[in-house]
Every structure is written in structure tokens, then in C-alpha cells.
Amino acid sequence: MQTLTTAGPALLGLALIIAMLLVVVVVMLVRAASVRTRARKGDGGDSAMLSMALQEAVNKLKAQERQMAARAEASERLAGQIVEGLTSGMVVVDRDGAVQTVNPAARRILGLDADVGTGLVSDVLRRVPALADVIGEALRTTAPIVRRTVTLEGGARPAHLGVTVSHITGAHGEKQAVVCLFTDLTAVVELEERLRLKEALARLGELTAGLAHEFRNGLATIHGYGRLLDPDALPEPARTYVEGIRAETTALGEVVANFLRFARPEQFAMAPVDLRAIVTRAIADLPGATQVTTCEGEFATVNGDDVLLRQAFSNLVRNSLEACAGGTAVPAIVVRGAIEGSDVFVTVDDNGPGLAPAALNRLFQPFATTKAAGTGLGLAIVQKVIVSHNGVVVAGASPAGGARFQVRLPIHYAS
């Protein structure tokens, strides 16, 4: 009994130790489980945060892509609008000579069809070979072509273009294409020509007016003495000489009067006038013109001198009448009016023998004539009158086989 009592405390102590160890193990297990739980929770939060960050980055990239696409589309649309809206013509040709772009202004200036598309520059611009040659020169060289004037023939009147050709190069400096920009300078060139002609006419008038007056005074004296002589009181040979003096001095007097009319400055009485009425009156005033002349088309009101314009158109119709008189066909003259933009065109066509190519360059020069009895001042006076009215007169071939004279005058618009 004493032995059992002595071992009891020992057993009790052992039991307490075992219980404490169990408690420690349980606490450690609980802590480990808690750590694993927290670890699992931490891993899940990091994954969620990573997914959200990736999704946000993707959304930003997509938004940037949409913005870049919108900007690219807007830039392309703006570039297209600029090309379409240019008042200057633009032709883009790649390095192989193929046309890539022709804007509407180029089609209008060059008179190209609306369906003209891409192709070799020689084919697309076959109607305007002079411009195609300039582009071809730019393709063969590396230097740009700046402010070159190109004249296009073949139309109703020559067209003058101011041309600039630039190169488009790649990243390494290699030639990719050329861009040809051109502007219609026809109105500017014609204005310069009219100014030069006005200055030349003014100088000619100053130099020759005095000389012509002296000639006229001498001729008047000779003609007056010739009129004082009575042919009936003279012998037969002398009578013939006097009549010849009278005829020649009269003819020379008309030449001098016409030359003075051409050379001296005119006093213009400018006012709005009906061009159809002027042309009709000019035809009616010429003997024999009404029967062979047809007046048709659309005319307009111009600001001009009624008398001088009537004289100019009278000279043109008279010139056609005299040209047709030597032919075998029945004379036929057509005076046709047409309005284009802010100008009115009056064309005089005849079925006479036409104009020799060699005579075209000097047709409007004083004393230049192809007629045996002509003075060579009629067309010179026409040019002076038309140029003084800020117009242009040109000559060429008529579809009827004869000559064609075309007058262009600015239309007068009431303010």
C-alpha cells in the first residue's frame, strides 16, 4: 500500500507531461494548418490581382490600337480630301513609270476622261505628251524639276502649265516615285502677251505717227496739184499721167490714213454693248456680206467701244469675203458666238482657200498681207482693237476648209 502511494505522484507527473506534449503537438498542428490556409488564401489573391492587371493591360492595348486605327483612317481620309480638293493638278508616278494617282484638277486641266485610271504614264497622258516627257525626265534623273513652263498644243488654244516634279525616296534614299504638280498658267501667259503687245503698239504709234503725218501732208499736196490739172486740156500722154498720179495718191492716202488709225492712241468710249448687235451691224454695213454670212450661237454683253468693235468685226468679215472671192465655190461665212465661263468667243469661219502655215506667224503684223491689192493693216487693226479690250484674237483653219478667226472677250456683268 505504501509502494502504491509512493508511485502515484510519479505516474501523475508522467501523465501531466504527456498531456502537455499533446497540447504542444495540437497547437503546432493548428498553427501549421493556419499557415497553410493563409498561404492558400495569399496565392489566390495574387493570382486574381495578376489576372486583373493583365486584363487591364490588354484593354489599354486594344484602346490604343483603336485610337491608332482611327487616327490612321482620319489621316488617310484627310490626305484623300487634300488630293481631291487641290486646285492644282497632281499626278503620282512610281519608279517603273506607272501612274498611281490622278486628282480631279489634273483631269480637268488636261482634259482627261473621268474613267482614266492607272497605267503607264505614256498611255495615261498620251493626249499631253509634253507633260509625259517632263515626268519621264524626272524619272531618269535625281534632280527635281522646279517651275518649268510647258506648252500643250492640240486644243482650241494652246495651254501653258507651270510644272514642278519632286521625288519620293525610301528609307535608304532609293527612288520610289515622283509627284508632278502643275497649274494652268494660260491666263497669266496671255495677259503677259497682251501687255507686251500693248507696249509694242504704243511704241510703234509714237515712232510712226509723226512720219505718217508728214507723208500724208506731202501726198495731199501732190494730190491737190493733180486735181488742179485739167486732163481735157492736156495732150493724151499727159492726161494718162495725171490720172495715174491722182489714183496713186488717193490709194496712198488711204494707206496712210489706215496706218494712222492703227498707230495713234485711240480714244475709247467704253460702255456695255451687245456683241450680237455689233456683229450684225458690221455684217449689214459690208456690201454683199448679208447674202453669204450666217450669224448664230450665243452672244453676251461686253464692256467696249461700239465703233471700234464694229470696225474690228467688219475687218474680219471683209477679210473672209475677199478670201472667198477668188475661189470656185459659193462664198459661205459663218459667225458663231459661244459663252465659256466668263468669256464670250466669236468665231468667223469661211470656205475660202485657207491660210498658209508660213503666214500664220506674221498674220497680224502691220503690212503683212497675202493679197495682191491688200495694205496689210486690216488684221493688225483688228488685233489692236481686241487687245485694247482685254481680249485675244487667233487665226487657224476652219472645218469648212478655209480660214478661222476667233475672238475672245471678257463678259461684262452688271454690278
In a shared domain, residues 216 and 327: no
Residue 278 lies in a domain: yes
pLDDT in tens, 39-94: 555 555 667 777 887 888 888 888 888 888 878 777 767 766 676 767 788 899 99
In a shared domain, residues 275 and 401: yes
Q: Is the pLDDT of residue 302 over 90?
A: yes
Residue 178 lies in a domain: yes
Compute the distance between CA of residue 407 and CA of residue 413 in angstroms, rounded to an integer. Answer: 19
Residue 329 is part of which domain span?
267-415
In a shared domain, residues 407 and 390: yes
Whole-angstrom CA distances from 66 to 78, 80, 140 are 18, 21, 42
In a shared domain, residues 411 and 296: yes
Domain end, chosen from 135, 155, 184, is at 184
Residue 62 lies in a domain: no
In a shared domain, residues 342 and 247: no
pLDDT at 108: 86
The owner of cell 499631253 is: 128
Q: Which three cell numbers stand for residue 49?
A: 490581382
Residue 12 lies in a domain: no
| The one-letter amino acid at 12 | L
Report the CATH number that the domain containing residue 408 is assigned in CATH.
3.30.565.10
**pTM (2 d.p.):** 0.56
In a shared domain, residues 251 and 285: no
Residue 78 lies in a domain: no
In a shared domain, residues 114 and 238: no
Percentage, residues of the chain above pLDDT 70:
79
Compute the distance between CA of residue 322 and CA of residue 333 in angstroms, rounded to an integer. Answer: 11
Span 2-19, mean pLDDT? 61
Domain end, chosen from 160, 184, 208, is at 184
pLDDT in tens, 213-253: 777 777 788 878 777 777 777 777 787 888 888 888 887 77
In a shared domain, residues 253 and 307: no
In a shared domain, residues 162 and 215: no
Burial of 335 (0-12, 13-18, 19+ CB in 10 A): buried
Residue 39 lies in a domain: no
Domain end, chosen from 265, 296, 325, is at 265
pLDDT in tens, 311-366: 899 999 998 888 888 667 788 899 999 999 899 999 999 988 888 777 777 787 77
In a shared domain, residues 311 and 371: yes
Count of structural domains within the chain: 3
Q: Is the pLDDT of residue 367 over 70?
A: no
Report the CATH number that the domain containing residue 114 is assigned in CATH.
3.30.450.20
pLDDT at 373: 58
Residue 356 lies in a domain: yes
Residue 122 lies in a domain: yes
CB 394 within 8 A of CB 204: no
CB 219 within 8 A of CB 263: no
In a shared domain, residues 198 and 311: no
Span 133-157, mean pLDDT? 83
In a shared domain, residues 173 and 197: no
